[in-house]
Amino acid sequence: MTTNKNLYKHFDKQDTFSDRLIFFLIHFAFFLKTYKNENNSKLLQEIYDFNFRQLELSLREIGYGDQSINKKMKDYINLFHSIISEIHFWESYDKNEKIKKISLFFDNLQKIDYLVEYFDDFNIDLSKKNLNYFLKSVSTS
């Protein structure tokens, strides 16, 4: 979903790795928020752990050293928890509040309205599907 070119069309300049990661983390935050319940907690923890392990591996592939990776990972995990906190009551926010929430994470966007509509639609789409919809093609071996 983060490869959707329309997400990036309102950037003032070329999007960066950080911008793409923020989009991923926002999507992931909505995903966890939607499917969080006692029945899914262990599975969602595994998905969370997997995603952040993959992020760490990606940083290593880019060429960051161990100290840099530890700092970056701490920053990204803090950012992710900040995103979760900001979108927790997403459905109860009006459009202006949603714009403020999304604006917290991007400093080089011309137009945030599009993203608010996009994440409203994404959130609704998630609520119409069960967790197994996203896991049915994932191997457990």
Cβ atoms of 34 and 27 closer than 8 Å: no
**pLDDT tens digits for range 73-126:** 999 999 999 999 999 999 999 999 999 999 999 877 778 888 999 999 999 999
Mean pLDDT of the chain: 88
Q: How far is CA 34 from CA 80, 110, 129, in A?
A: 15, 28, 10
Q: What is the pLDDT of residue 47?
A: 95
pLDDT score of 141 more than 50 = no
DSSP codes, 7-55: GGTTBSS---HHHHHHHHHHHHHHHHHHH-STTTHHHHHHHHHHHHHHH
Q: Nearest 5°: CA angle at 106, between 24 and 25?
A: 15
Contact between residue 35 and residue 44 where contact means Cβ atoms under 8 Å apart = yes
- The pLDDT confidence band at residue 17, using thresholds 50, 70 and 90, is confident
- Give me the pLDDT at residue 15, please: 67
pTM of the model: 0.87
